């Protein structure tokens, strides 16, 4: 049975190793889908609805078709159908240049009959609201869950808190917008350069869509500029590109605009929770009653975790979706968790204060995770928890500091379905090939590290090929923090198998049994006689005209799911301007075995920054008057920049020697930690994200009054 061995035995695994593609990325050599240009390639654009709700009466494509340079125009809706949100697709154009495509869109004439719309949850739930989908009152049937005896719980409660917590819709803001370059090499063979998190998923989708064998679709994603859960399928834009490509017989590039990216490429649903909870005098959570909802736009899927992390014996939860005339939600980094964590960690602080308890102590009582118990101790020490205000808002001066804590949990144990090959060539070169994709997380480098460790080579000696369905070695989509735990065991076992084969070639030369062979630094030696050795290249030279090429298997002993995380925040609130500056985040992230400590820390940093953005800046702003998103850009949809990013102490809390993914979990505890720190600083609780200056100033003014 394979194992990752002891830390002391590892030469590369668990160390800080720069990502292999780093140089290509900073020099611009790395090619993203956006950078792909094919001979004879056309540029495609999509005409989208400006309005939130309308019936299509007529579409006239003739003038667009007549524009010189336009090669194809196709409708994406038709008379008699309804447009149900701003940004919904109406028609698409392929043209010789992007400018011509843009001009052609303005020559498509569409006759609409505007219909009543609702773009906010409040409007959707209003009594006289127009019903916009098959849900009475625009509300789905609530899911109700009841456990324990909630009445008894509230009787036992020494204190109760009743509050409403809200997080708005957040969009993914992938730096590389969604899109594809599609090329039919003949009528039955399609090649797609896709900005995707799921090379094989996209391959299979295109094959179904165009009714061709899956192995006649090749999907390539060498580098990817951010997905966060929104890039698992080809989307309307992908299907449209391939269709335009088929009609014209030319390659087609179709990338979404920034505006469309906000409108139609997915979002994290909103959350509103009305919660009442009670705690006993000795600090146990004894009752939890929550009614909540969210909007995923016109689709469902607006779920969230409640209660979260901390255990409550007696609980009742009721949650439902609210339909609005807005683009569909999609999975977004730890779906349902950050929202739930914000509400739960705020609630925990409110209860602790009523009990007169240190909020950290209150958590310790209600948290059954031993890992997190240890993280509380470490994190508190790192942030200097003893320095916090024991009385919230008691700091003096205009700029007030405060500290808070938040928690999270995730799975990340990976899954079956990855196939990989590790090949050793006679010239000493090594290739590792699998159909996973590096969506920025560094799996390419992790694969190289695993193989290099096994072979006694350097990571740069390993040629890693990922992000291509061509070799026919499938792997799952990169979601659910599953990639490393899905891929690493297969690569590891493939490398072991290949090494074994190489040893079989080398054993006669060294006149030693295979079992007695070991790898050193670019050498193979005999364990019982370390002077008996060959170099790596001498060994591989024995292969002559052959290569060794071995597959692996998903050895479950090499991976494990389930992680706990805790973060502590220190903030400074300018009480005159309402600005919240995060001074420091201590992120203690349980992650099992970190294959590459450097990229694991980067994952944590990235999660913290994303969580910070959701807490302090990000919000999709829908206008009830016009039905439009008012900030479908990066000017008024604000994401963290250099000034917002604090000192981040990312602590890789490796509790065991098995691989677990941590792509998602580090973005979860940040929300509660910052929100609670703001409260600790100013003594006024803001229960609605993002915590922007207007809310801080308004809250401070209400406190004063």
CA separation for the pair 503, 500 (Å, rounded): 5
For 475-518, give the secondary structure using H, E and C: CCCCCCCCHHHHHHHHHHHHHHHHHHHHHHHHHHHHCCCHHHEE
> Residue 410 CB, nearest distance to other proteins (Å)?
29
Of the two residues 9 and 642, which places its CB atom closer to other proteins in the complex? 642
What are the helix and strand counts (H, E) for the chain? 17, 28
DSSP string, 136-166: GGGBPPPEEEEES-HHHHHHH-SEEEEEEEE
> Residue 411 CB, nearest distance to other proteins (Å)?
34
> Residue 692 CB, nearest distance to other proteins (Å)?
6
Is 531 a binder of other proteins (CB under 8 A)? no
The edge-to-edge listing of strands for the beta sheet with 70-75 is 70-75, 89-95, 42-48, 252-255, 179-186, 189-194, 217-220
Is 325 a binder of other proteins (CB under 8 A)? no
Restricted to residues 254-313, the positions that interact with other proteins (CB under 8 A) are none
CA separation for the pair 191, 188 (Å, rounded): 10
Cβ pair 684, 585 in contact under 8 A: no
> Residue 338 CB, nearest distance to other proteins (Å)?
20
Of the two residues 119 and 357, which places its CB atom closer to other proteins in the complex? 119
Of the two residues 337 and 695, which places its CB atom closer to other proteins in the complex? 695
Of the two residues 187 and 636, which places its CB atom closer to other proteins in the complex? 636
> Residue 48 CB, nearest distance to other proteins (Å)?
10
CA separation for the pair 432, 473 (Å, rounded): 11
Main-chain dihedrals φ then ψ at residue 695, nearest 5 degrees: -70, -40
Is 538 a binder of other proteins (CB under 8 A)? no
> Residue 687 CB, nearest distance to other proteins (Å)?
17
> Residue 174 CB, nearest distance to other proteins (Å)?
19
* Binding residue count for other proteins, defined by CB under 8 A: 30
Angle at 192 between CA 191 and CA 198, to 5 degrees: 125
Of the two residues 31 and 102, which places its CB atom closer to other proteins in the complex? 102
Restricted to residues 681-700, the positions that interact with other proteins (CB under 8 A) are 692-695, 697-698
Is 635 a binder of other proteins (CB under 8 A)? yes
Of the two residues 134 and 694, which places its CB atom closer to other proteins in the complex? 694
Angle between helix axes 597-616 and 337-355 (nearest 10 degrees) is 70
- Whole-number Cα distances in Å, 232 to 173, 211, 235, 528, 620: 15, 20, 8, 51, 22
Restricted to residues 646-675, the positions that interact with other proteins (CB under 8 A) are none
> Residue 106 CB, nearest distance to other proteins (Å)?
8
Of the two residues 79 and 630, which places its CB atom closer to other proteins in the complex? 630
> Residue 622 CB, nearest distance to other proteins (Å)?
9
Is 126 a binder of other proteins (CB under 8 A)? no
Selected binder of other proteins within 368, 390, 531, 642 (CB under 8 A): 642
Give the sign of the dihedral formed by CA 501, CA 507, CA 510, CA 516: positive
CA separation for the pair 236, 87 (Å, rounded): 12
Per-residue contact track with other proteins, 601 to 630, x per CB under 8 A?
Answer: ----------------x---x-xxxx-x-x
> Residue 599 CB, nearest distance to other proteins (Å)?
27
Per-residue contact track with other proteins, 373 to 402, x per CB under 8 A?
Answer: -------------------------x----
Of the two residues 513 and 624, which places its CB atom closer to other proteins in the complex? 624
Tokens read off for 156 = 């036992």
Give the sign of the dihedral formed by CA 355, CA 358, CA 363, CA 364: negative
- Whole-number Cα distances in Å, 680 to 224, 397, 400, 522: 40, 15, 9, 56
Is 643 a binder of other proteins (CB under 8 A)? yes
CA separation for the pair 588, 653 (Å, rounded): 6
> Residue 654 CB, nearest distance to other proteins (Å)?
34
Restricted to residues 47-106, the positions that interact with other proteins (CB under 8 A) are 50
Per-residue contact track with other proteins, 542 to 581, x per CB under 8 A?
Answer: ----------------------------------xxxx--
Check residue 386 and report its DSSP letter.
G
Close Cβ partners of 444 (under 8 Å, ≥ 6 residues apart): 19, 20, 21, 438, 464, 466
Contact residues toward other proteins (CB under 8 A) are 50, 398, 576-579, 617, 621, 623-626, 628, 630-631, 635-636, 638, 640-644, 692-695, 697-698, 701
């Amino acid at each position: 049975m394979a194992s990752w061995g002891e830390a002391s035995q590892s030469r590369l695994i668990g160390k800080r190793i720069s990502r292999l593609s780093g140089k290509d990325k900073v020099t611009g050599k790395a090619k993203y889908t956006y950078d792909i240009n094919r001979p004879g390639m056309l540029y495609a654009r999509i005409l989208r609805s400006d309005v939130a709700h309308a019936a299509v009466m007529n579409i006239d494509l003739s003038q667009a078709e007549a524009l010189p340079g336009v090669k194809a125009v196709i409708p994406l809706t038709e008379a008699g159908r309804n447009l149900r949100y701003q940004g919904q697709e109406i028609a698409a154009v392929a043209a010789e240049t992007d400018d011509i495509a843009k001009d052609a869109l303005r020559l498509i004439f569409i006759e609409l009959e505007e219909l009543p719309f609702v773009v906010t949850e409040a409007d959707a739930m209003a009594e006289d609201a127009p019903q916009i989908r098959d849900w009475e009152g625009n509300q789905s049937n609530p899911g109700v869950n009841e456990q324990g005896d909630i009445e008894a719980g509230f009787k036992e409660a020494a204190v109760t808190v009743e509050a409403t917590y809200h997080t708005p819709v957040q969009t993914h803001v992938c730096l590389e917008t969604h899109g594809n370059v599609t090329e039919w090499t003949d009528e039955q063979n399609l090649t797609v350069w896709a900005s995707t998190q799921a090379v094989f998923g996209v391959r299979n989708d295109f094959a179904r869509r165009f009714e061709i064998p899956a192995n006649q679709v090749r999907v390539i994603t060498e580098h990817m500029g951010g997905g966060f859960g929104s890039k698992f399928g080809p989307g309307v834009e992908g299907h449209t590109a391939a269709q335009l490509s088929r009609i014209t017989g030319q390659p087609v590039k179709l990338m979404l605009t920034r505006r469309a990216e906000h409108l139609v490429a997915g979002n994290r649903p909103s959350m509103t929770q009305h919660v009442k909870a009670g705690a006993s005098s000795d600090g146990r959570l004894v009752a939890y009653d929550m009614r909540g909802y969210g909007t995923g736009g016109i689709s469902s899927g607006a779920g969230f975790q409640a209660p979260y992390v901390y255990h409550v014996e007696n609980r009742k939860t009721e949650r439902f979706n609210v339909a609005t005339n807005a683009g569909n939600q999609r999975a977004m980094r730890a779906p349902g968790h950050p929202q739930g964590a914000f509400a739960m960690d705020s609630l925990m602080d409110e209860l602790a204060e009523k009990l007169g308890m240190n909020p950290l102590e209150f958590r310790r009582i209600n948290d059954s995770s031993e890992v997190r118990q240890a993280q509380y101790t470490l994190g508190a020490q790192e942030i200097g928890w003893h320095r916090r205000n024991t009385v919230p808002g008691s700091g003096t001066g205009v700029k007030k500091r405060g500290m808070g804590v938040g928690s999270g949990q995730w799975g990340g144990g990976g899954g079956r379905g990855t196939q990989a090959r590790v090949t050793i060539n006679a010239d000493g070169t090594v290739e590792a090939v699998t159909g996973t994709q590096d969506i920025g997380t560094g799996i390419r480098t992790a694969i190289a590290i695993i193989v290099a460790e096994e072979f006694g080579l350097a990571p740069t000696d390993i040629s890693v090929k990922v992000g291509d369905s061509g070799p026919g070695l499938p792997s799952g989509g990169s979601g659910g923090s599953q990639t490393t735990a899905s891929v690493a065991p297969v690569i590891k076992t493939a490398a072991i198998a290949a090494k074994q084969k190489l040893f079989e070639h080398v054993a006669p030369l060294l006149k030693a049994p295979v079992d007695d062979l070991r790898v050193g630094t670019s050498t193979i030696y005999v364990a019982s006689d370390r002077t008996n050795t060959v170099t790596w290249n001498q060994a591989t030279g024995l292969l002559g005209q052959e290569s060794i090429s071995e597959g692996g298997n998903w050895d479950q002993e090499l991976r494990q799911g389930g992680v706990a995380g805790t973060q502590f925040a220190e903030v400074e609130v300018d009480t005159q301007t309402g600005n919240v500056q995060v001074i420091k985040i201590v992120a203690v992230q349980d992650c099992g075995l970190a294959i590459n400590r450097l990229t694991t820390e980067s994952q944590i940093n990235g999660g913290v920054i994303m969580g910070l953005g959701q807490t302090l800046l990000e919000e999709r702003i829908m206008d009830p008057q016009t039905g439009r998103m008012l900030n479908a850009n990066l000017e008024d949809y604000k994401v963290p920049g250099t000034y917002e990013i604090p000192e981040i102490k990312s602590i890789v809390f490796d509790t065991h020697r098995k691989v677990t993914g941590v792509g998602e979990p580090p973005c979860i505890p940040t929300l509660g930690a910052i929100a609670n720190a703001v409260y600790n600083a100013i003594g006024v609780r803001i229960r609605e994200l993002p915590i922007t200056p207007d809310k801080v100033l308004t809250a401070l003014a209400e406190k004063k009054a």
